[in-house]
Protein backbone atom coordinates (compact mmCIF):
# COMPACT_ATOMS: atom_id res chain seq x y z
CA UNK A 1 0.00 0.00 0.00
CA UNK A 2 1.11 3.54 -0.70
CA UNK A 3 2.07 5.57 2.34
CA UNK A 4 -0.68 8.05 3.27
CA UNK A 5 0.20 11.61 2.37
CA UNK A 6 -0.91 14.40 4.66
CA UNK A 7 -2.81 17.12 2.84
CA UNK A 8 -3.69 20.41 4.46
CA UNK A 9 -7.14 21.60 3.51
CA UNK A 10 -7.51 24.96 1.79
CA UNK A 11 -10.75 26.89 2.07
CA UNK A 12 -12.18 26.34 -1.39
CA UNK A 13 -13.40 29.08 -3.67
CA UNK A 14 -17.09 28.91 -4.46
CA UNK A 15 -16.30 28.54 -8.15
CA UNK A 16 -13.32 27.88 -10.37
CA UNK A 17 -11.82 31.07 -11.81
CA UNK A 18 -11.52 29.98 -15.44
CA UNK A 19 -11.01 33.56 -16.64
CA UNK A 20 -7.88 33.75 -14.49
CA UNK A 21 -6.72 30.33 -15.68
CA UNK A 22 -7.10 31.42 -19.31
CA UNK A 23 -4.92 34.45 -18.68
CA UNK A 24 -2.29 32.38 -16.88
CA UNK A 25 -2.31 30.01 -19.88
CA UNK A 26 -0.26 32.63 -21.70
CA UNK A 27 2.67 31.31 -19.64
CA UNK A 28 2.72 27.92 -21.44
CA UNK A 29 1.85 29.72 -24.68
CA UNK A 30 5.07 31.75 -24.49
CA UNK A 31 7.37 29.36 -22.62
CA UNK A 32 6.41 26.21 -24.53
CA UNK A 33 4.34 27.04 -27.63
CA UNK A 34 6.61 29.87 -28.82
CA UNK A 35 9.82 29.41 -26.85
CA UNK A 36 10.29 25.68 -27.46
CA UNK A 37 7.94 24.07 -29.96
CA UNK A 38 8.13 26.79 -32.62
CA UNK A 39 11.84 25.96 -33.04
CA UNK A 40 10.73 22.93 -35.09
CA UNK A 41 9.21 25.31 -37.65
CA UNK A 42 12.45 27.29 -37.92
CA UNK A 43 14.90 24.38 -37.73
CA UNK A 44 14.89 23.37 -41.43
CA UNK A 45 15.68 26.92 -42.59
CA UNK A 46 18.27 27.47 -39.85
CA UNK A 47 19.94 24.13 -40.55
CA UNK A 48 20.18 24.88 -44.28
CA UNK A 49 21.41 28.45 -43.82
CA UNK A 50 23.87 27.73 -41.01
CA UNK A 51 25.10 24.32 -42.20
CA UNK A 52 24.11 22.34 -39.10
CA UNK A 53 24.05 18.56 -38.77
CA UNK A 54 21.02 16.95 -37.12
CA UNK A 55 23.18 16.43 -34.03
CA UNK A 56 23.95 20.17 -33.91
CA UNK A 57 20.28 21.01 -34.48
CA UNK A 58 19.20 18.60 -31.73
CA UNK A 59 21.84 20.00 -29.37
CA UNK A 60 20.18 23.40 -29.75
CA UNK A 61 17.05 22.02 -28.11
CA UNK A 62 19.22 20.16 -25.60
CA UNK A 63 20.53 23.61 -24.60
CA UNK A 64 16.92 24.73 -24.23
CA UNK A 65 16.31 21.71 -22.00
CA UNK A 66 19.41 22.44 -19.89
CA UNK A 67 18.08 25.95 -19.38
CA UNK A 68 14.73 24.45 -18.48
CA UNK A 69 16.47 22.32 -15.87
CA UNK A 70 18.13 25.40 -14.38
CA UNK A 71 14.81 27.23 -14.32
CA UNK A 72 13.13 24.27 -12.64
CA UNK A 73 15.80 24.19 -9.95
CA UNK A 74 15.41 27.93 -9.37
CA UNK A 75 11.60 28.06 -9.44
CA UNK A 76 10.84 26.98 -5.87
CA UNK A 77 13.49 29.22 -4.23
CA UNK A 78 12.40 32.15 -6.41
CA UNK A 79 8.76 31.57 -5.49
CA UNK A 80 9.66 31.28 -1.80
CA UNK A 81 11.64 34.52 -1.90
CA UNK A 82 9.62 36.70 -4.28
CA UNK A 83 6.28 34.90 -4.69
CA UNK A 84 4.78 32.92 -7.55
CA UNK A 85 3.29 35.98 -9.22
CA UNK A 86 6.58 37.82 -9.56
CA UNK A 87 8.33 34.66 -10.68
CA UNK A 88 5.68 34.12 -13.36
CA UNK A 89 5.93 37.69 -14.65
CA UNK A 90 9.74 37.63 -14.73
CA UNK A 91 9.74 34.31 -16.60
CA UNK A 92 7.42 35.70 -19.28
CA UNK A 93 9.49 38.85 -19.76
CA UNK A 94 12.77 36.94 -19.97
CA UNK A 95 11.35 34.40 -22.44
CA UNK A 96 10.06 37.21 -24.65
CA UNK A 97 13.44 38.96 -24.65
CA UNK A 98 15.22 35.74 -25.60
CA UNK A 99 12.95 35.25 -28.64
CA UNK A 100 13.75 38.71 -29.95
CA UNK A 101 17.49 38.22 -29.36
CA UNK A 102 17.56 34.89 -31.21
CA UNK A 103 16.64 36.67 -34.43
CA UNK A 104 19.76 38.85 -34.27
CA UNK A 105 22.56 36.27 -34.24
CA UNK A 106 23.91 33.46 -36.40
CA UNK A 107 26.73 32.50 -34.02
CA UNK A 108 26.14 28.95 -32.78
CA UNK A 109 27.45 29.60 -29.26
CA UNK A 110 25.27 32.68 -28.86
CA UNK A 111 22.21 30.82 -30.11
CA UNK A 112 22.92 27.98 -27.67
CA UNK A 113 22.98 30.46 -24.78
CA UNK A 114 19.78 32.14 -25.95
CA UNK A 115 18.00 28.78 -26.26
CA UNK A 116 19.12 27.99 -22.71
CA UNK A 117 17.81 31.34 -21.45
CA UNK A 118 14.48 30.68 -23.16
CA UNK A 119 14.31 27.28 -21.48
CA UNK A 120 15.05 28.66 -18.01
CA UNK A 121 12.48 31.42 -18.40
CA UNK A 122 9.89 28.97 -19.70
CA UNK A 123 10.38 26.64 -16.74
CA UNK A 124 10.07 29.47 -14.24
CA UNK A 125 6.83 30.78 -15.72
CA UNK A 126 5.40 27.29 -16.27
CA UNK A 127 6.02 26.09 -12.70
CA UNK A 128 4.90 29.22 -10.88
CA UNK A 129 1.95 29.61 -13.26
CA UNK A 130 1.00 25.97 -12.71
CA UNK A 131 0.86 26.54 -8.96
CA UNK A 132 -1.24 29.68 -9.47
CA UNK A 133 -3.58 27.83 -11.85
CA UNK A 134 -3.96 25.00 -9.32
CA UNK A 135 -5.02 27.56 -6.73
CA UNK A 136 -7.39 29.34 -9.12
CA UNK A 137 -8.95 26.02 -10.11
CA UNK A 138 -9.77 24.95 -6.57
CA UNK A 139 -13.52 25.56 -6.58
CA UNK A 140 -16.39 23.51 -7.98
CA UNK A 141 -16.79 19.75 -8.33
CA UNK A 142 -14.27 16.94 -8.28
CA UNK A 143 -13.25 17.32 -11.93
CA UNK A 144 -12.90 21.11 -11.92
CA UNK A 145 -9.25 21.32 -10.73
CA UNK A 146 -8.08 18.88 -13.40
CA UNK A 147 -10.11 20.71 -16.04
CA UNK A 148 -8.58 24.03 -14.97
CA UNK A 149 -5.07 22.60 -15.24
CA UNK A 150 -5.93 21.21 -18.68
CA UNK A 151 -6.99 24.69 -19.77
CA UNK A 152 -3.77 26.12 -18.35
CA UNK A 153 -1.41 23.72 -20.11
CA UNK A 154 -3.54 24.03 -23.25
CA UNK A 155 -2.06 27.50 -23.60
CA UNK A 156 0.96 25.83 -25.18
CA UNK A 157 -1.34 24.56 -27.93
CA UNK A 158 -2.59 28.11 -28.49
CA UNK A 159 1.03 29.20 -28.92
CA UNK A 160 1.51 26.43 -31.48
CA UNK A 161 -1.54 27.54 -33.47
CA UNK A 162 -0.35 31.15 -33.56
CA UNK A 163 3.16 30.14 -34.61
CA UNK A 164 1.73 27.83 -37.30
CA UNK A 165 0.11 30.82 -39.01
CA UNK A 166 2.92 33.29 -38.27
CA UNK A 167 6.09 31.34 -39.07
CA UNK A 168 6.28 28.87 -42.01
CA UNK A 169 5.17 31.14 -44.88
CA UNK A 170 7.04 34.09 -43.37
CA UNK A 171 10.26 32.10 -43.07
CA UNK A 172 9.94 30.95 -46.69
CA UNK A 173 9.70 34.60 -47.80
CA UNK A 174 11.85 36.53 -45.34
CA UNK A 175 14.11 33.98 -43.62
CA UNK A 176 14.36 32.44 -40.18
CA UNK A 177 15.56 35.62 -38.45
CA UNK A 178 12.27 37.36 -39.20
CA UNK A 179 10.47 34.32 -37.82
CA UNK A 180 12.12 34.74 -34.42
CA UNK A 181 11.37 38.47 -34.33
CA UNK A 182 7.70 37.80 -35.06
CA UNK A 183 7.62 35.19 -32.29
CA UNK A 184 9.02 37.84 -29.95
CA UNK A 185 6.26 40.25 -30.94
CA UNK A 186 3.59 37.59 -30.37
CA UNK A 187 5.12 36.79 -26.97
CA UNK A 188 4.94 40.47 -26.04
CA UNK A 189 1.23 40.54 -26.80
CA UNK A 190 0.67 37.33 -24.82
CA UNK A 191 2.54 38.75 -21.82
CA UNK A 192 0.39 41.87 -21.83
CA UNK A 193 -2.73 39.70 -22.02
CA UNK A 194 -1.60 37.66 -18.99
CA UNK A 195 -1.09 40.61 -16.64
CA UNK A 196 -4.76 41.28 -15.68
CA UNK A 197 -5.28 37.61 -14.82
CA UNK A 198 -2.03 37.57 -12.85
CA UNK A 199 -3.19 40.53 -10.77
CA UNK A 200 -6.46 38.72 -9.92
CA UNK A 201 -4.97 35.26 -9.32
CA UNK A 202 -5.25 33.92 -5.74
CA UNK A 203 -2.00 33.36 -3.91
CA UNK A 204 -0.92 29.71 -3.83
CA UNK A 205 -0.47 29.63 -0.07
CA UNK A 206 -2.79 32.45 0.93
CA UNK A 207 -4.21 30.38 3.79
CA UNK A 208 -0.88 29.02 5.01
CA UNK A 209 1.18 30.59 7.77
CA UNK A 210 4.48 29.06 6.64
CA UNK A 211 6.28 30.10 3.46
CA UNK A 212 6.41 27.66 0.54
CA UNK A 213 9.25 25.18 1.10
CA UNK A 214 12.36 25.29 -0.99
CA UNK A 215 13.37 22.53 -3.40
CA UNK A 216 13.54 19.29 -1.40
CA UNK A 217 13.15 15.60 -2.13
CA UNK A 218 10.53 15.49 0.65
CA UNK A 219 8.21 17.43 -1.68
CA UNK A 220 7.79 14.36 -3.90
CA UNK A 221 7.66 11.62 -1.28
CA UNK A 222 5.37 8.91 -2.59
CA UNK A 223 5.58 10.14 -6.20
CA UNK A 224 8.58 8.11 -7.38
CA UNK A 225 6.90 6.19 -10.21
CA UNK A 226 5.33 9.36 -11.60
CA UNK A 227 8.70 11.09 -11.44
CA UNK A 228 10.55 8.33 -13.33
CA UNK A 229 7.77 8.27 -15.91
CA UNK A 230 8.05 12.05 -16.27
CA UNK A 231 11.80 11.78 -16.92
CA UNK A 232 11.16 9.31 -19.73
CA UNK A 233 8.34 11.43 -21.14
CA UNK A 234 10.69 14.41 -21.30
CA UNK A 235 13.21 12.37 -23.29
CA UNK A 236 10.60 10.83 -25.57
CA UNK A 237 8.23 13.59 -26.60
CA UNK A 238 10.90 16.23 -27.32
CA UNK A 239 12.38 14.24 -30.22
CA UNK A 240 9.05 14.43 -32.05
CA UNK A 241 8.56 18.16 -31.48
CA UNK A 242 12.16 18.85 -32.53
CA UNK A 243 12.42 16.79 -35.72
CA UNK A 244 8.90 16.05 -37.02
CA UNK A 245 8.81 19.09 -39.33
CA UNK A 246 12.24 18.20 -40.77
CA UNK A 247 10.97 14.64 -41.29
CA UNK A 248 7.85 15.86 -43.09
CA UNK A 249 9.85 18.20 -45.33
CA UNK A 250 12.74 15.84 -46.13
CA UNK A 251 11.03 12.46 -46.23
CA UNK A 252 7.47 13.27 -47.28
CA UNK A 253 7.97 16.47 -49.29
CA UNK A 254 5.72 18.74 -47.23
CA UNK A 255 5.80 22.41 -48.23
CA UNK A 256 5.17 25.52 -46.11
CA UNK A 257 1.38 25.24 -46.51
CA UNK A 258 1.36 21.59 -45.50
CA UNK A 259 3.53 22.31 -42.47
CA UNK A 260 1.25 25.17 -41.41
CA UNK A 261 -1.79 22.91 -41.59
CA UNK A 262 -0.03 20.08 -39.74
CA UNK A 263 1.24 22.34 -36.95
CA UNK A 264 -2.11 24.08 -36.69
CA UNK A 265 -3.90 20.71 -36.30
CA UNK A 266 -1.50 19.71 -33.53
CA UNK A 267 -1.93 23.07 -31.80
CA UNK A 268 -5.74 23.09 -32.00
CA UNK A 269 -5.83 19.54 -30.61
CA UNK A 270 -3.49 20.57 -27.78
CA UNK A 271 -5.56 23.68 -26.97
CA UNK A 272 -8.77 21.72 -26.52
CA UNK A 273 -7.22 18.59 -25.03
CA UNK A 274 -7.90 19.61 -21.43
CA UNK A 275 -11.64 19.86 -22.08
CA UNK A 276 -11.71 16.39 -23.64
CA UNK A 277 -9.45 14.66 -21.11
CA UNK A 278 -10.55 16.45 -17.92
CA UNK A 279 -13.56 14.26 -17.01
CA UNK A 280 -11.59 11.07 -17.74
CA UNK A 281 -8.53 12.10 -15.72
CA UNK A 282 -10.70 12.98 -12.72
CA UNK A 283 -11.93 9.36 -12.62
CA UNK A 284 -8.58 7.60 -13.08
CA UNK A 285 -6.64 6.72 -9.94
CA UNK A 286 -2.94 6.38 -9.26
CA UNK A 287 -0.71 6.82 -12.30
CA UNK A 288 -3.28 5.54 -14.80
CA UNK A 289 -3.97 9.00 -16.21
CA UNK A 290 -0.25 9.63 -16.74
CA UNK A 291 0.13 6.19 -18.31
CA UNK A 292 -2.79 6.58 -20.70
CA UNK A 293 -1.63 10.01 -21.88
CA UNK A 294 1.90 8.67 -22.51
CA UNK A 295 0.50 5.74 -24.50
CA UNK A 296 -1.48 8.02 -26.81
CA UNK A 297 1.56 10.31 -27.25
CA UNK A 298 3.60 7.23 -28.20
CA UNK A 299 1.11 6.19 -30.89
CA UNK A 300 1.08 9.70 -32.32
CA UNK A 301 4.90 9.84 -32.40
CA UNK A 302 5.48 6.64 -34.36
CA UNK A 303 2.45 6.77 -36.69
CA UNK A 304 4.10 8.90 -39.44
CA UNK A 305 6.97 6.40 -39.62
CA UNK A 306 4.88 3.24 -39.60
CA UNK A 307 2.34 4.62 -42.10
CA UNK A 308 4.02 7.33 -44.20
CA UNK A 309 0.87 8.78 -45.76
CA UNK A 310 -0.82 12.17 -45.47
CA UNK A 311 -3.85 10.84 -43.54
CA UNK A 312 -1.51 9.12 -41.07
CA UNK A 313 0.54 12.30 -40.67
CA UNK A 314 -2.49 14.40 -39.81
CA UNK A 315 -3.82 11.66 -37.53
CA UNK A 316 -0.44 11.85 -35.80
CA UNK A 317 -0.87 15.62 -35.37
CA UNK A 318 -4.25 15.11 -33.71
CA UNK A 319 -3.14 12.22 -31.48
CA UNK A 320 0.15 13.76 -30.39
CA UNK A 321 -1.24 17.28 -30.09
CA UNK A 322 -4.28 16.05 -28.21
CA UNK A 323 -2.28 14.15 -25.58
CA UNK A 324 1.26 15.44 -24.99
CA UNK A 325 0.17 18.37 -22.81
CA UNK A 326 -2.09 16.01 -20.87
CA UNK A 327 0.99 14.37 -19.37
CA UNK A 328 2.05 17.49 -17.40
CA UNK A 329 -1.63 18.16 -16.71
CA UNK A 330 -2.13 14.72 -15.15
CA UNK A 331 1.16 14.96 -13.25
CA UNK A 332 0.24 18.37 -11.81
CA UNK A 333 -3.26 17.14 -10.94
CA UNK A 334 -1.70 14.21 -9.06
CA UNK A 335 0.57 16.60 -7.15
CA UNK A 336 -2.44 18.71 -6.23
CA UNK A 337 -4.09 15.85 -4.37
CA UNK A 338 -0.92 14.20 -3.04
CA UNK A 339 0.92 17.04 -1.26
CA UNK A 340 -0.07 20.03 0.91
CA UNK A 341 -0.93 23.25 -0.99
CA UNK A 342 2.09 25.06 0.47
CA UNK A 343 4.28 22.42 -1.22
CA UNK A 344 2.69 22.55 -4.68
CA UNK A 345 5.34 24.80 -6.22
CA UNK A 346 8.19 22.76 -4.71
CA UNK A 347 6.70 19.42 -5.76
CA UNK A 348 5.98 20.62 -9.29
CA UNK A 349 9.55 21.96 -9.44
CA UNK A 350 11.10 18.64 -8.34
CA UNK A 351 9.09 16.72 -10.93
CA UNK A 352 9.92 19.31 -13.58
CA UNK A 353 13.63 18.86 -12.84
CA UNK A 354 13.28 15.18 -13.70
CA UNK A 355 11.30 16.10 -16.81
CA UNK A 356 14.04 18.56 -17.80
CA UNK A 357 16.77 15.96 -17.36
CA UNK A 358 14.91 13.76 -19.82
CA UNK A 359 14.62 16.70 -22.23
CA UNK A 360 18.38 17.28 -22.03
CA UNK A 361 19.00 13.73 -23.27
CA UNK A 362 16.19 13.34 -25.82
CA UNK A 363 17.07 15.85 -28.60
CA UNK A 364 20.77 15.03 -28.62
CA UNK A 365 20.17 11.27 -28.61
CA UNK A 366 17.59 11.54 -31.37
CA UNK A 367 19.94 13.74 -33.40
CA UNK A 368 22.74 11.19 -33.09
CA UNK A 369 20.41 8.40 -34.21
CA UNK A 370 19.14 10.57 -37.09
CA UNK A 371 22.69 11.34 -38.28
CA UNK A 372 23.47 7.63 -38.25
CA UNK A 373 22.17 5.25 -40.90
CA UNK A 374 18.74 5.15 -39.23
CA UNK A 375 17.75 8.68 -40.31
CA UNK A 376 14.97 10.82 -38.87
CA UNK A 377 12.61 7.83 -38.89
CA UNK A 378 14.92 6.02 -36.48
CA UNK A 379 14.91 8.99 -34.13
CA UNK A 380 11.11 9.09 -34.09
CA UNK A 381 10.89 5.34 -33.44
CA UNK A 382 13.34 5.73 -30.56
CA UNK A 383 11.04 8.42 -29.18
CA UNK A 384 8.11 6.01 -29.31
CA UNK A 385 10.02 3.32 -27.43
CA UNK A 386 10.93 5.71 -24.63
CA UNK A 387 7.32 6.89 -24.34
CA UNK A 388 6.14 3.28 -24.09
CA UNK A 389 8.47 2.85 -21.11
CA UNK A 390 7.06 6.01 -19.53
CA UNK A 391 3.53 4.62 -19.81
CA UNK A 392 4.42 1.28 -18.25
CA UNK A 393 6.27 2.81 -15.29
CA UNK A 394 3.43 5.24 -14.57
CA UNK A 395 1.14 2.27 -13.98
CA UNK A 396 3.21 1.45 -10.88
CA UNK A 397 2.15 4.69 -9.16
CA UNK A 398 -0.35 4.11 -6.34
CA UNK A 399 -3.12 6.50 -5.41
CA UNK A 400 -2.21 8.58 -2.32
CA UNK A 401 -4.46 8.35 0.73
CA UNK A 402 -4.98 11.97 1.81
CA UNK A 403 -5.31 12.75 5.50
CA UNK A 404 -6.81 16.20 6.00
CA UNK A 405 -5.51 18.17 8.93
CA UNK A 406 -7.48 21.09 10.35
Total residue count of the chain as it appears in this document: 406
Q: Report the C-alpha gap between 335 and 142 in whole angstroms.
A: 15
**What pLDDT does 205 receive?**
55
**What pLDDT does 12 receive?**
43
Q: Report the C-alpha gap between 202 and 11 in whole angstroms.
A: 12
Q: Is residue 1 part of a domain?
A: no
Q: Is residue 372 part of a domain?
A: yes
Q: What is the pTM of this model?
A: 0.77
Q: Which of 12, 118, 344, 389 is nearest to 211 (CA)?
A: 344
CA distances from 169 to 104, 163, 305 (A): 20, 11, 25
Q: Report the C-alpha gap between 201 and 196 in whole angstroms.
A: 9
Q: Is residue 214 part of a domain?
A: no
**What pLDDT does 139 receive?**
58
User: What CATH number has the domain bearing residue 332?
Assistant: 1.20.1250.20
**What pLDDT does 51 receive?**
92
Q: Is residue 244 part of a domain?
A: yes
**What pLDDT does 212 receive?**
42
**What pLDDT does 183 receive?**
95
**What pLDDT does 140 receive?**
56
Q: Is residue 213 part of a domain?
A: no
**What pLDDT does 16 receive?**
52
Count of the separate structural domains present in the chain = 1
Q: Is residue 215 part of a domain?
A: no
Q: Is residue 211 part of a domain?
A: no
Q: Is residue 342 part of a domain?
A: yes
Q: What is the mean pLDDT of each run of 10 residues along the chain (406 residues)?
A: 33 59 93 90 90 86 88 87 92 96 93 95 91 74 72 88 87 89 96 93 56 46 84 89 85 86 92 83 85 95 92 95 89 80 77 84 79 80 92 88 46
**What pLDDT does 2 receive?**
32
CA distances from 366 to 87, 225, 293, 385 (A): 32, 24, 21, 12
CB 213 within 8 A of CB 344: no
Domain holding 113, by residue range, is: 7-206+222-399
Amino acid sequence: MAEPVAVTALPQARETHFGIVLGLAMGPAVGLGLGRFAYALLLPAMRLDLGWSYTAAGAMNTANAVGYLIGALAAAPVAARFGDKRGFAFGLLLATASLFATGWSSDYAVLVVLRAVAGAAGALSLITGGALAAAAGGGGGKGRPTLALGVYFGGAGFGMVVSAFAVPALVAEAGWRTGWLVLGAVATAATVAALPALARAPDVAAHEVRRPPAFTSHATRGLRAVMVSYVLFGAGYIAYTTFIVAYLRNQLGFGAGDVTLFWCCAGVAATGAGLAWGPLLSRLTGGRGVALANAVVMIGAILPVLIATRPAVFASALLFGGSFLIVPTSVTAFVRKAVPPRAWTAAIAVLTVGFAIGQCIGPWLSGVVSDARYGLAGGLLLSGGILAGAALIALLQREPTPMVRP
